[in-house]
């Protein structure tokens, strides 16, 4: 078996708190007979520059949404331009990411986004201002699409891999029903990380009926777990935190927006 | 200007499994940081590489005999100095150490490993924190609270808590001083005020060994939740002791507010013991923090 050589060259800019961080990197990963080696290529990065103005504007927009008594606990907004090379295959991509936590002690809402569109943050910020004390989990709850996306990688529900140009080894990502079998594609979030098999760009398959009158979970209060999830819930005029145990999904409806959970997940409105 | 060269290797049962070489520099101008994975100053680059390679040779010599463990060595040479850590994992339990201490820490880990014979206690019990493990508890309860500039609490008068930089600058964490060092994991990261080397000491503390107690030897993780000022400590290796009977208990987690921990800290004895390592993660940056504490005892954490 010949060695597999992957190279990545990229430029990124990120707003982290009040800092603006520019990073240029070019690196190589080699897998040879089970051994994984990476190194910096020590070369000028010939990739177009990301747009700092867009990143700064997005960060400012988020800051304008979050008003006292809410505070921004953590804010990262970034754009990256990357070229990949695996054997003879070359491809490129531009990506945007937002990681945000907004606090109002003892609560914190968290967001991971791949677009500079902040409607969900606006809704959650308004609700967090009015949040009351903890309540028991509602009998039925409707998860907003961005909340459902966070659960999708480990949710036992019918879902499919969605087509995309390339995986971490330059192979096309074909549509595929997610099964318990080994995923056909490879996920490589960084050249410094050994690639692993993963299902890409998960999309939930629609079933059942989404009850618009059910209490709504509009934001995650902690990273999604396999056993339970901490959610900010809205029920008529009340806003409250609740811990919801994982239980069977009663209905699902896919959404168009993509989120950076696992190797990618599309929004999923769910009744839980 | 910050520059660094890092070598990172993973050895599994004596065989090299993964290796990484990283270098880079970061220039700060006002609120902007310009980072890239090359170092303009060729002389500096050569010096950092040479320092890194020499330390890697020491790493190789230090782990030669460790054939049944998973061993990860990370050597980082920066404009601020050299840092070298080794993480040894046996049967899923890890310690973090240095080339100087790797053999003794590995042998100590081997002596501690045995399967649990009992479930964790159903109710809270006094805990004796051995092997320097109280440093992890107080890292969370005092160290992180200080990093977040949270109001100081009333701790026992016999307790001293300092964070000491490699240059010898010291912060009194109980008095509410923040750690002196500004640290970053790599050239890509924003430097932050972080702990470096924690030393907890006791001066004429009371001591009484509870007849029924948990004795903690190794901890697998800890967190400080800044919004609620609560601590969570994952206990990896501990014994349940009742009179003369001693049983290894399954891993368990302790959760308490830092105020509850301050109230529960009822005794200590001896000089600070080096705990084999804490990798502290904050803002996505993982940093080694030296940790030392005497044997300590806490009453029931409700």
CB contact B61 to A (< 8 Å)? no
A42 contacts in chain B (CB < 8 Å) = 23, 37-38
Tell me the two tokens of residue B138. Answer: 């107080």
The whole-number pLDDT of residue A152 equals 95
Mark yes or no for CB contact A35/B16 under 8 Å. Answer: yes
Mark yes or no for CB contact A107/B35 under 8 Å. Answer: no
In total, the C-beta contacts within 8 angstroms joining chain A to chain B are 73
CB contact B32 to A (< 8 Å)? yes
Closest CA to B208 of B125, B133, B137, B297: B297
This complex has an ipTM of: 0.93
List, as one string, the DSSP characters of A24-42.
EEEEEEEEETTEEEEEE--
Most A-contacting residue of B21, B25, B149 (CB-CB within 10 A), to test interface: B21
Q: How many angstroms separate the CA atoms of A72 and B198, rounded?
A: 29
> Which residues on neighbouring strands pair with residue B229, listed in sequence order?
none
Q: How many angstroms separate the CA atoms of A17 and A39, rounded?
A: 29
Give Cα B116 to chain centroid, integer Å: 24
Three-state DSSP state, B249: strand
CB contact B167 to A (< 8 Å)? no
Three-state DSSP state, B21: strand
The whole-number pLDDT of residue A71 equals 97
List, as one string, the DSSP characters of B63-121.
HTT--SSEEEEEEEEETTEEEEEEEEEETTEEEEE-TTTHHHHHHHHHHH-----BPPP
Question: Could you tell me what percent of chain A has a pLDDT over 90?
Answer: 95
Burial of A205 (0-12, 13-18, 19+ CB in 10 A): middle
Q: A-contacting residues of B 195-254, CB under 8 Å?
A: 226-228
Name which of B18, B19, B31 is nearest A19 (Cβ-Cβ): B31
Name which of A16, A35, A106 is nearest B17 (Cβ-Cβ): A35
What are the tens digits of pLDDT across the range B80-103?
A: 999 999 999 999 899 999 999 999
Mark yes or no for CB contact A42/B37 under 8 Å. Answer: yes
What are the tens digits of pLDDT across the range A126-169?
A: 999 999 999 999 999 999 999 999 999 999 899 999 999 999 99
- Which regions of chain B are under pLDDT 70? 302
Mark yes or no for CB contact B20/A39 under 8 Å. Answer: yes
Task: Specify the DSSP class assigned to residue B263.
Answer: H
Whole-model pTM: value is 0.93
The whole-number pLDDT of residue B168 equals 95
Tell me the two tokens of residue A73. Answer: 């606990």
* CB contact at 8 A, B233 and B222: yes
CB contact A33 to B (< 8 Å)? no
Query: What is the greatest pairwise CA distance in chain B?
Result: 65
């Amino acid at each position: 078996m010949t060695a597999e050589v992957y190279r990545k060259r990229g430029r990124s800019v990120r707003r982290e708190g009040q800092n603006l961080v520019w990073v240029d990197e070019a690196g190589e990963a080699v897998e040879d007979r089970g051994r994984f080696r990476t190194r910096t290529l020590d070369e000028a990065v010939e990739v177009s520059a990301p747009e700092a103005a867009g990143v700064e504007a997005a960060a400012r927009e988020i800051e304008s949404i979050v008003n006292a008594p809410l505070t921004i606990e953590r804010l990262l907004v970034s754009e990256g331009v990357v070229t990949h090379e695996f054997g003879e295959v070359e491809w490129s991509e531009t990506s945007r990411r937002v990681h945000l936590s907004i606090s109002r002690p003892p609560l914190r809402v968290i967001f991971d986004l791949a677009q500079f569109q902040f409607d969900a943050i606006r809704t959650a910020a308004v609700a967090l201002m009015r949040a009351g004390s903890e309540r028991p989990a509602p009998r039925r709850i409707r998860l907003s699409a961005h909340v459902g996306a966070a659960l999708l990688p480990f949710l036992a529900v019918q879902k499919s891999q969605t087509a995309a140009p390339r995986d971490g080894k330059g192979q096309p990502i074909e549509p595929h029903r997610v099964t318990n079998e080994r995923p056909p594609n490879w996920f490589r979030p960084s050249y410094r990380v050994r690639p692993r098999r993963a299902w890409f760009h998960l999309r939930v398959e629609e079933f059942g009926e989404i009850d618009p009158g059910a209490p709504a979970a509009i934001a995650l209060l902690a990273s999604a777990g396999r056993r339970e999830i901490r959610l900010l819930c809205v029920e008529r005029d009340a806003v409250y935190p609740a811990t919801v145990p994982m239980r069977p999904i009663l209905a699902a409806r896919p959404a168009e927006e993509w989120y950076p959970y696992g190797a990618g997940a599309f929004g999923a409105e769910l009744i839980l | 200007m910050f520059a660094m060269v890092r070598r990172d290797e993973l050895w599994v049962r004596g065989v090299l499994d993964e290796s990484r070489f990283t270098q880079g520099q970061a220039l700060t101008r006002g609120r902007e940081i310009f980072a890239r994975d090359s170092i303009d100053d060729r002389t500096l680059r050569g010096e950092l590489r040479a320092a890194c390679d020499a330390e890697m040779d020491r790493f190789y010599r230090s782990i030669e005999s460790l054939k049944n463990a998973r061993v990860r060595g990370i050597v980082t040479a920066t404009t601020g100095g050299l840092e070298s850590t080794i993480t040894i994992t046996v049967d899923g339990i890890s310690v973090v150490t240095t080339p100087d201490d790797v053999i003794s820490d590995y042998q100590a880990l081997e002596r501690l490993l045995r399967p649990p014979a009992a479930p964790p206690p159903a109710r809270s019990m006094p805990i004796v924190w051995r092997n320097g493990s109280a440093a992890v508890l107080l890292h969370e309860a005092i160290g992180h609270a200080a990093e977040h500039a949270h109001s100081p609490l009333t701790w026992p008068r016999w307790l001293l808590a300092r964070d000491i930089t490699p240059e010898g600058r010291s912060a009194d964490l109980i008095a509410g001083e923040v750690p002196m060092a500004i640290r970053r994991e790599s050239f890509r990261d924003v430097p932050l005020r972080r702990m470096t080397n924690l030393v907890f000491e006791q001066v004429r503390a009371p001591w009484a060994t509870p007849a029924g107690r948990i004795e903690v030897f190794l901890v697998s993780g800890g967190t400080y939740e800044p919004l609620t000022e609560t601590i969570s400590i994952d206990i990896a290796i501990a014994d349940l002791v009742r009179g003369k009977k001693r049983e290894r208990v399954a891993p368990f987690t302790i959760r308490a507010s830092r105020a509850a921990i301050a109230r529960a800290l009822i005794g200590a004895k001896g000089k600070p013991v080096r705990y084999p390592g804490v990798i502290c993660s904050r803002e996505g940056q993982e940093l080694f923090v030296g940790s030392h504490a005497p044997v300590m005892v806490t009453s029931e954490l409700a």
